[in-house]
Amino acid sequence: MANKVLGDYKKLEAEGRYQVGADVPKVTFREIGKRGIHRLDGYEKASGQAIYTRDIQLPGMLYARVLMSPYPHARIQKMETGEAEALPGVRAIIRYDDVEVKDRMLNGCYFGPEWVAPRLAGWALKPVHPVLGDQAWYEGQPLGAVVAADSEDIAHRALRLLKVEWEELPFVLDQEEALKPDAPILRPEADNNLIERPGETIEKGDVERGFREADKIIEFRAKRNAHLWAGAELPSVVVRWRGDNLELSVHEQQPYHAKMLLSEWLKVPMNKITMHSPYQGCAFGGRGNPANNSENGMNILAALLARRTGRPVKLLYDRREYFYGESGDMMVGDFKVGAKNDGTITAVQMKNVFAVYMGTPGIDHFVENTKISNLLCKTSTADVSKGPAWWCRCEQLPNTFCFTLVFDHVAAELGLDPTEVALKNDGFEDYDTTELSKYKREHGFPDRDSLRECIGAGKKAIGWAEKWHPPGTKKLPNGKMHGMAFTWNHEWDDTRGTGSGAVMIENDGTVSIIGQQSDIGVNPWTTYCQIVADELGVRYEDVNIKPFTLDHGYALMSPDGSANLCTNGEVLRKASQKAKKMLLELAADKFDGVTAEELDMKDSVIYVKAAPEEQRTIVEIVARAMPMSASVALWTKPPVVASAWHNQGLWGRALETGRPHLCRQAHFMEVEVDTGTGEIEVTKVVNVNDVGKAVSPETVEGQMYGGTYMGVGRALTEEMVWDENTGVLLNRNLLDYKYATMLDCGPIETVIKETGMGHGPYGAVGVAEDIATVVPALLGPAVYNAIGEWIDEYPITADKVLKALGKSQERD
Amino acid sequence: MKDDKSRCSCPYCSNTFDTVKELRSHMMAEHKGQPLPAPEGLIKITVNGESYELQVKPNWTLYYLLHDKMGLTGAKMFCDRGACGSCTVIMDGSPILSCMTLAMECDGKTIETIEGIATANHPLIDAYVKHHCMQCGYCTPGFIMTAKALLDRNPNPTEIDVKENLAGNLCRCGTYPQHLKAVLEAAENLRGG
């Protein structure tokens, strides 16, 4: 595996496809990094004008709904659809045994006809995954029948009129139970519930040697219960046929993948599919799994219904129906850590058992982010009777969970300040920070100690020196116990993005960015316009993007993996540079005796570098650069439009071969714990993010605020609760599944560091996934510091606090 | 028989008759010359200052009427059952959840939606854009409607007032801290600050 990766890295590097050294910007920052820039999507969203997929209606449109399984594991024996068909307003019902869908599986492939689903896109899903099958592997699974009717209400009533005979089958909810020999086996073809996946054991060095070198051995067990992203806009798709052409509006984070999958399944050529991606009400990765019933599956069913009825069809899920897509960190882990008295960690061993998992094993950040030599991670993943898990802000959750808990347990056990333990172990691939410094210098980066800078800023912001105290020792005047905690991580430089786009100078001198991109709210379009403005030398106000369709052929990197800006910044920088060259070549004709190289552009004016008073407006240059024109052909010139493609590199870690993460992040939390009720209040969070370069500081802060609220919710209250007796998910709504409201977190302080040490454009790294992924595990150490007892099962609810304090009657 | 009779109920006064002939005689005698009675489900509402006479069904929510039938898509379906505040509109001065309100209950009411207050250039809109109070933007109109109702009642809210009033609105992107800044700034602008 490592050799394979080595080969890929070297090849990509040799081809110049991914950048290893520092990015030294060649433009003057005018818009980039500026505060107060008018947010491109702001007015549309604030005024209610923004249209989301769910808002779209077409003339004559039918509404479609899918049947969901009431049982966690069951098979349809028989289904009568007569009564439903007879209901006035019902226009079509597709059954599981109809020819269009019978025995047809969801295609999980990202790359055309090459089936890669089981390993890359599908092994977290249920192994057999029909588009509309007769078997349920979890309660709430879409199956059996899909109805199209004149209204949503009629479609819903029709589903209730279906007469289904179910054969209930045994189920299992807990991953450790599922792996026991007497557990019911969920897949008929298998002889146990173990999901096969690559990389079950990750080993570096020798943990036994590390344990022998340690002064202290620390052992604990930790558990993360299921939570889910539960985005704002519920799934829907609007489909219509135009002859043999198919036109859709989708709620997808990655519409290009969705188009590939749909084309493959329906056997409709890709050039006959028009796909629109209106505004998207959240995604967080949750709409980035096209290989799923609620994405490609619903697109397929809607297209089939539209074909049967000859009418546009909108297929919708309601909130109850869309309560699956767990976070990928349903896990229980047994940890054994060796450490020296000074905080040097000599060995980390973890055995993690996941449920229907899709994500990371738990050990990766120790590899990528520390100098710890001896690491061992054994993971196993069990199939259980729960919905498919998927990565959502983000797949690194198991990695950050394990990382924070190990570091904070070590610091607590040794009685050390956790910030010191972090600094003691910082590094990469078992190299220490000396090696990091060497790498920075050799590759043209500024040699800054990002972790030390972040910790320094964070300690100051939270008042660490004055407030830090031994566990369980600080009672506040209000009677509650005060606690505080710290954790850290590397930057979110998921170097896996690929995108394409174009920059066009319109004939009035304004600039259009051409490229589809699904908006999920991270304000990308403003930042693209900032970059294009500075790279071209035009005013920010003169740049715009209309990213709602795939039809022009360019698809910018989807907002995944914190790789959006790092990839698309490069795409648009390259395209801008090409377009600028074209423009200046065209402009040279308009100046006397001047070549393109002697010209430049600023504030949308072209001028001679040696004589800046000699100027032309862009309009003067491009007035005849026409995509089309009915005037005399001799007068016209080709349009100024340039495209670019960029691959930001391979995904993730350095693996001793690629590039190490250079930027660090530090997070601090303060809590108050009521030892009478068990209630925890998060009173302050400080996030210090070294983002390399903040192209839009307010946008970075938005992610720092938002990630904190999501993180605090995940830590305190977010939990999917299944009934053990029936296997039914009990809290399928946003009243009983609680995420944080405005009142659920105290002040959040944001500190942006810009060391320029990222591998993205202008030295940037991603930020959007870091906070929500790192903050949750920070609650345990904070509560420990407050009450002197560890609670390692998340979410940390009041009952667990009372139990830890010995005040609960609850039995184990 | 009951069904037959109900078919012969008088649309003016609801008296019932055994035959159509009897009903006709009754109507000619009692109601001749009167304007046609309003059919069941006809409501009169004022939305964003304009009056509408609309035929609604008993199971329609106000959200459905506004969003699906009137094309006022700023009110959003998020939680789909009164948990999130994204469908908030203002009815007779109070913020209400349009997904939990039957359209038939709104007869005679005055309703403000995000489209109305945006057209009127309410300072909240600019403040929300300036302070990046949105990420995906799906919940944003609901927040602004809730905040608008607060400022209508209390032009000088404290931080706590704003927090408590907006605490019923969910934002999965977690934009909460930015709302606080925007609402307080809009309040100041409204007071002429």
Which among A46, A706, A734 has CB closest to B174?
A706
- Chain A: residue nearest B161 by CA? A743
- Chain A: residue nearest B180 by CA? A742
Distance (Å, whole) CA A384 – CA A652: 29
Q: Is the pLDDT of residue A490 over 70?
A: yes
Task: List chain B residues with CB under 8 Å of A522.
Answer: 135
- Chain A: residue nearest B128 by CA? A46
Judge residue A734's burial from the number of C-beta atoms within 10 Å of its C-beta, 0-12 exposed, 13-18 middle, 19 or more buried. Answer: buried
Residue A461 pLDDT: 98
- What tokens does B191 get? 């007071």
Task: List chain A residues with CB under 8 Å of B68.
Answer: 57
- What tokens does A646 get? 């960029």
Q: Do B132 and A698 touch (CB under 8 A)?
A: yes
- Chain B: residue nearest A55 by CA? B73
CA A519-A523-A524 angle, to 5 degrees, is: 75
Nearest to A46 by CA among A203, A224, A279: A279
Q: Is the pLDDT of residue A223 over 80?
A: yes
E strand or H helix that includes residue A221: strand A216-224
Residue A495 pLDDT: 60
Residue A130 pLDDT: 87
- Chain B: residue nearest A737 by CA? B83
Q: Which domains does chain A have, with CATH numbers?
A: 1-26+433-493+655-812 (3.30.365.10), 53-169+232-281+287-316 (3.90.1170.50), 496-647 (3.30.365.10)
Distance (Å, whole) CA A550 – CA A552: 6
- Chain A: residue nearest B124 by CA? A46
Query: Poorest-confidence range of A438-447, A653-662, A692-701?
Result: A653-662
Which pLDDT band, with edges at 50, 70 and 90, does A654 fall under?
A: very low
Q: Which of residues 140-179 of B touch A (CB under 8 A)?
A: 140-141, 144, 163-164, 166-179
In tens, the pLDDT along A72-95 reads: 999 999 999 999 999 999 999 999
Which among A230, A232, A319 has CB closest to B136?
A232
CA of A765: how far to CAs of A556, A602, A690, B13, B146, in Å?
17, 27, 8, 73, 36
In tens, the pLDDT along A447-488 reads: 999 999 999 999 999 999 999 999 999 999 999 999 999 999
Q: Is the pLDDT of residue A63 over 80?
A: yes
Query: Poorest-confidence range of A120-129, A252-261, A346-355?
Result: A120-129
Residue B37 pLDDT: 83
CA A385-A391-A393 angle, to 5 degrees, is: 130
Look at residue A85 and give its three-state secondary structure. Answer: helix
- What tokens does A739 get? 């995420």
Look at residue A118 and give its three-state secondary structure. Answer: helix
| C-beta separation of A54 from A47 below 8 A | no
Query: Poorest-confidence range of A117-126, A307-316, A671-680?
Result: A117-126
- What tokens does B165 get? 């009033």
Nearest to A390 by CA among A130, A122, A136: A122
Share the mean pLDDT of chain A: 91
CB neighbours of residue A480 within 10 Å: 21
Reported as half-sphere exposure (CB side, CA atoms, 13 A), residue A715 has a value of: 32
Q: CA dihedral defined by A193, A195, A199, A202, rounded to 10 degrees?
A: -30
Q: Is the pLDDT of residue A35 over 80?
A: yes
Which among A49, A519, A705 has CB closest to B178?
A705
CA of A100: how far to CAs of A49, A133, A204, A245, in Å?
38, 12, 50, 18
Residue A121 pLDDT: 39
Q: Is the pLDDT of residue A752 over 80?
A: yes
Distance of CA A482 to the CA centre of its chain: 33
Residue B3 pLDDT: 52
Q: Do A282 and B172 touch (CB under 8 A)?
A: yes
Mean pLDDT within A2-16: 55
Task: List chain A residues with CB under 8 Å of B77.
Answer: 54, 234
Task: List chain A residues with CB under 8 Å of B177.
Answer: 705, 747-748
To the nearest whole percent, how much of chain A has pLDDT over 70?
92
Residue A6 pLDDT: 46
- Which runs of consecutive H residues, i.e. helices, occur in A140-279? 152-160, 175-178, 207-213, 255-266
Q: Do A705 and B177 touch (CB under 8 A)?
A: yes
Q: Is the pLDDT of residue A373 over 50?
A: yes
Mean pLDDT within A397-424: 97
Give B9→chain A minimum CA distance, Å: 26
- Say which residues have a Cβ less than 8 Å from residue A275's Cβ, sequence separation at least 6: A247, A248, A249, A250, A255, A258, A259, A549, A550, A551
Look at residue B153 and give its three-state secondary structure. Answer: helix
Q: Do A282 and B138 touch (CB under 8 A)?
A: yes
Q: Does B125 touch chain A (CB under 8 A)?
A: yes
Residue A198 pLDDT: 47
- What tokens does A45 get? 């969203």
In tens, the pLDDT along A582-625 reads: 999 999 999 999 999 999 999 999 999 999 999 999 999 998 89
Distance (Å, whole) CA A374 – CA A352: 17
Does the structure's ipTM exceed the value 0.85? Answer: yes
| pTM summary value | 0.94
Q: Does B98 touch chain A (CB under 8 A)?
A: no
| C-beta separation of A153 from A88 below 8 A | no
Mean pLDDT within A718-730: 97
